[in-house]
Amino acid sequence: MTAITLRSLLLATTSALIAAPAASQDFPSKPIRIISPFAPGGATDTLGRSLATPLGKALGQNVIVENRPGGSTVIGTEAAARAPADGHTLLVVSPSYTVNPFVRKLPYDSLKDLTGLTRLASTAMVVASHPSVPAKDVRELVALARAKPGMLTYATASLVGAQRIAGELFKNVANVDITHVPYNGGAPATMATLGGHTSLLVSNIVEIAPNVRAGKLRALGVTTINRSEMLPEVPTIAESGYPGFDAGNWFGISIRSGTPKAIVDRLHAEIVRALELPEVRDPLVRHGLSPAPMTPEQFSAFIRSEMERNGRIVKKLNLRME
């Protein structure tokens, strides 16, 4: 290596080392985007918008929730994966993020292009029906589905994700044939079942509970091992003849890999602080969302473990993501 080349390399390295702290000190220098890869109106919107105001105040910049639905969350995720690694673009992630790598070719690397910032919350899901479906509980639903194989349909928020996994696991343990109908978000899926376009809905309790109370949907079973305080009268699927059935949902924030650690640490601290505020935490709990933050390292490890688990489920059930 020549002296000139070595000098140039040393200068470039030194400049990069100087630039990184400077970039961190200037952060944030513009509005921050929280990309939600779902349509407006679902649990991801509830989380993103509840965080936007306190996070904006803490960081001294506007925080904007940008809905980018489509492609079973791939469109929004790709936008975040292609964003600069400067901390100004965050991505809401959910179990679909950990299923997509096993069912399709992706325009990004789920483990290399993005990294975990923090888990936000976990929630129960519910299997609910349109009132016209002649089933009052899970046992009656199973009997109806066996009598009419392939006639019933169930809506979910995406082609892949926690709702689809829960629905397919239920079909597997109950040995029933129910057709999956995917939508680009919890709100469109809910509207489809409210309108009678699908027989059933598998969704987060936040999307289902208000319609159950209004008599527009009938809650048949909760997917988690324990009942939900939001609908305490609704038995779990485990209680309804399928012991051990447990399929919950979770949401978190990921960020572009390579974002300076100082920026990652600041964002993490401010998001966790916001989740502890009564004006943020209390509405989330009322919507059936339990705040469950993690460190960036913990959340990245959690994503990897969820990928391993969901990869096994996809293979075991031979899921086809049409």
Q: What string of DSSP letters covers 217-249?
A: SEEEEESSSS--TTSTTSPBTTTTT-TT----E
Burial class (CB in 10 A: 0-12, 13-18, 19+), 112: exposed
29-121+249-317: CATH topology is D-Maltodextrin-Binding Protein; domain 2 (3.40.190)
**pLDDT category, 177, cuts 50, 70, 90?**
very high
Distance of alpha carbon 26 from alpha carbon 67, whole angstroms: 27
CATH topology of domain 125-222: D-Maltodextrin-Binding Protein; domain 2 (3.40.190)
Given a cut of 90, is residue 10 above it in pLDDT?
A: no
- State residue 5's pLDDT score: 47
* pLDDT for the residue 321: 61
Task: Give residue 22's pLDDT band: very low, low, confident or very high (50, 70, 90).
Answer: low
- Identify the pLDDT of residue 19: 47
* Residue 137, Cβ density class (10 Å: 0-12 exposed, 13-18 middle, ≥19 buried): middle
Identify residue 185 by its one-letter amino acid code.
Answer: G
Distance of CA 199 to the CA centre of its chain: 24
Rounded to an integer, the average pLDDT of 109-128 is 96
| Whole-number pLDDT of residue 47 | 87
Average pLDDT over residues 79-98: 96
Q: Is the pLDDT of residue 153 over 60?
A: yes
Residue 184 has pLDDT above 80, yes or no: yes
Q: What 3-state DSSP class applies to 261?
A: helix
Distance (Å, whole) CA 287 – CA 22? 41
State how far the Cα of 31 lies from the Cα of 81, in Å rounded to an integer.
18
Among candidate residues 29, 89, 40, the one with its CA nearest the CA of residue 64: 89
Q: Residue 13: pLDDT above 80?
A: no
Residue boundaries of the structural domains of the chain: 29-121+249-317, 125-222
Res 139 pLDDT > 60: yes
Q: Quick one: what percent of the chain has pLDDT higher than 70?
A: 92
**Residue 319 pLDDT:** 76
pLDDT at position 24 over 60: yes
Answer whether residue 229 shows pLDDT above 70.
yes
Instruction: Confirm whether 29-121+249-317 and 125-222 share one CATH topology.
Output: yes
Identify the pLDDT of residue 124. Answer: 93
Mean of pLDDT values over 196-210: 94
> What is the H or E stretch that residue 308 is in?
helix 296-317
Residue 19 or 316, more confident: 316
Residue of 206 and 239 predicted with greater confidence: 239
Alpha carbon distance 106, 171 (integer Å): 27
Average pLDDT over residues 6-25: 50
Angstrom distance (rounded) from CA 249 to CA 289: 10
| 3-state percent helix, strand, coil for the chain, nearest multiple of 5 | 45, 20, 35
pLDDT at 82 over 90: yes
Mean pLDDT to the nearest integer, 112-116: 97
Q: Which of 278, 228, 255, 261 is nearest to 23 (CA)?
A: 261
129 strand-pairing partners: 200, 218
Least confident interval from 52-66, 139-153, 208-222, 284-298: 284-298
C-alpha distances (whole Å) from 231 to each of 42, 124, 125, 206, 235 are: 18, 10, 11, 10, 9
Q: Say what the pLDDT of residue 158 is.
A: 83
Mean pLDDT of 176-193: 93
Does the pLDDT value for residue 7 go beyond 60?
A: no
Q: Which residues contact 206 (CB under 8 A, 6 or more apart)?
A: 42, 43, 46, 123, 186, 287, 288, 289
Residue type, 272: V
Instruction: Give the mean model confidence (pLDDT) for residues 32-47.
Output: 87
For tokens 């509980």, the residue is: 137
How confident is the model at residue 228, as a pLDDT?
Answer: 92
- Maximum C-alpha span of the chain: 83
CA 97 to chain centre: 7
- Output the pLDDT for position 41: 78
Q: What average pLDDT does the segment 189-208 reach? A: 95
Residue 14: band (very low, low, confident or very high) from pLDDT cuts 50, 70, 90: very low
CB 204 within 8 A of CB 41: no
pLDDT of residue 9: 43
Q: In the 8-state DSSP scheme, what is residue 31?
A: P
